[in-house]
Amino acid sequence: MSIIDIIDKKRRGEELSKAELSEIFLGYQSEKVEDYQMSSLLMAICINGMTMEETLTLTDLMLYSGQKMDSSKVEGLMVDKHSTGGVGDKTSLIIGPIMAALGLKMGKLSGRGLGFTGGTIDKLESIPGFRVALTKEEFIYDLNKVGFTECEQTPEFTPLDKKIYNLRSVTGTVSSIPLIASSVMSKKLAVGADFILIDLKVGSGALIQTKKEAVELASTLIEIGKAYNKIVIPVLTDMNRPLGDNVGNALEIIEAMDVLKGKTGVLRDLVIELSSTLYSRAKKINLDVAKEEVKKCLDNGLAYEKFMEFVKMQGGDIDKLELASVMKPVYASEEGRLKDISAREIGRLVLELGGGRKKKGDAIDYGVGIVINKHIDDNIVKGDILCYLYQNDELDRTDDVLKAFTIVK
């Protein structure tokens, strides 16, 4: 069947065979299929979905577009964690060091920003010198040495996911259950941890907006895990509001470090919940016991030390982290109670500031972003600083920022 016929078949909502999926996806990998043809197929998948059989085939194609890591070379119990994407979501940068501090191994393949949601690889790349592309040997070496390592898709690790992921990010084709599930699971299966925790974000600032879709995605992820003999643990978490105070690549690195140094609040609470769930399942211990151990290694600084070891091991110089040159406070124009902060609006603003990509290959401005200065239910007086914008231009974005904050009498 020709590439055009395959696209047209999916447009009609029909199931594609293994051979047809291989033809078009491997054709895209080898550059015989063009971006515009793949974009068209991805949109048809977004609209018409995929069967479980198709989703498994796509996962397999992505997984074996590269190689699987030899997990027998990793010393100790391996766990993994992945988020389905949100705004201000820097949990991996805290959970990885916690797992390492607890004596587990967490080697993670991650992606860049997807649509208006941020990606851990872009955040890490904001640290001057940090190497996000590792060879298989470096990945295993760093993992055994530090206990936590994180890198992007490379020619060795799920290169097909990288191509598709980058295209989805700029073609409005991110919010599709089979595309998210195959993308996430191909990366998790390439590393091969036995326990995989999925932070499944639901809400206006996530790729998945409704509970119904979240439940469907969770069961798809579990099914894929079963097919490869892996335990997938989905945890549904709220993403209607930005997670934590800082949104933007370098700013999120700073907040992750703040939590590792003892900052309290919603972000720390979520990190403790996710870490203890993963730790208790992997070690087969009681959840409350796991929670105490997780808190201990946050409070005694061991997880922070692991983070610093991880950054150094991958060549990063945290002292050279730079923020944008202009910091503009945004003042409240009315008084009342802060009822809501829209994660989607904040995510879009950071994208507009240059913190994300609008086109394939766009350069990122790592230092831009937003630091939120008020919390939900705070009483606001006219003139209070709601947030600070970090930007590298002088544009006045006050009206757009105010739209993200709902203040009620």
**Which phi and psi angles does 357 have, rounded to 5°?**
-110, 140
Query: What is the DSSP track for 296-337?
Result: HHHHTSHHHHHHHHHHHHTT--GGG----SEEEEEE-SS-EE
Nearer of residues 81 and 306 to ligand URA, judged by Cβ? 81
Based on the shown chain and the rule CB under 6 A, indicate whether residue 166 belongs to the binding site for ligand URA.
no
Of these, 126, 149, 171, 183, which contacts ligand URA (CB under 6 A)? 183
Q: How far is CA 147 from CA 45, 252, 260, 360, in A?
A: 38, 22, 16, 33
How far apart, in whole angstroms, are the C-alpha atoms of residue 317 and residue 224? 38
Indicate which single residue of 33, 99, 177, 184 sits in contact with ligand URA (rule: CB under 6 A): 184
Which residues inside 55-114 make contact with ligand URA, applying CB under 6 A?
84-85, 111, 114
Nearest approach, Cβ of 108 to ligand URA (angstroms)? 10
Catalytic residue (choose from 183, 186, 276, 342): 183
Per the annotation, the verdict on 245 as an active-site residue is no
Rounded least distance, CB 174 to ligand URA, Å? 6
Closest separation in Å from C-beta 362 to ligand URA: 19
C-beta of 168 vs 306, nearer to ligand URA: 168
Q: Can you say whether residue 38 is alpha, beta or left, with left for phi > 0 and alpha for psi between -120 and 50 degrees?
A: alpha
DSSP letter at 117 equals B
Q: Are 143 and 105 in contact (CB under 8 A)?
A: yes
Nearest to 352 by CA among 387, 326, 389: 389
Closer to ligand URA by Cβ: residue 102 or 114: 114
Q: Which one is catalytic: 168, 281, 348, 374?
A: 168
- Mask for 307-346, x = binds ligand URA (CB under 6 A): ----------------------------------------
Question: Which residues ranging from 201 to 260 are in contact with ligand URA (CB under 6 A)?
Answer: 207
Which three-class secondary structure state does DSSP give residue 388? strand
- # chain residues binding ligand URA, by CB under 6 A: 11
Alpha-carbon distance values, 108 to 49, 70, 151, 377 (Å): 27, 14, 6, 36
Q: Which of 60, 80, 142, 161 is catalytic?
A: 161
Based on the residue annotation, tell me whether 161 is a catalytic residue of this protein.
yes
Active-site annotation holds for 5: no
**Cβ burial, residue 45 (10 Å; 0-12/13-18/19+):** buried
- List Cα–Cα distances, 46 to 32, 177, 178, 387, in angstroms: 22, 8, 8, 35
Identified catalytic residue from 105, 112, 187, 374? 187
Residue from the set 16, 180, 371, 386 that interacts with ligand URA by CB under 6 A: 180
Structure token digits, residue 111 = 């992606």
Toward ligand URA, which CB reaches closer, 85 or 97?
85
Q: Which range touches ligand URA (CB under 6 A), out of 69-77, 182-190, 286-294, 324-332?
A: 182-190
Question: Interface with ligand URA by CB under 6 A: which range of 2-10, 121-129, 175-183, 325-333?
Answer: 175-183
Complex with ligand URA: residue 184 or 371, whichever CB lies closer? 184
- Tell me if 186 sits within 8 A of 211, measured CB to CB: no
Which two three-digit tokens encode residue 10?
A: 């999916």
The catalytic residues are 82, 161, 168, 183, 187
> Which residues of the chain form contacts with ligand URA (CB under 6 A)?
84-85, 111, 114, 165, 179-180, 183-184, 187, 207
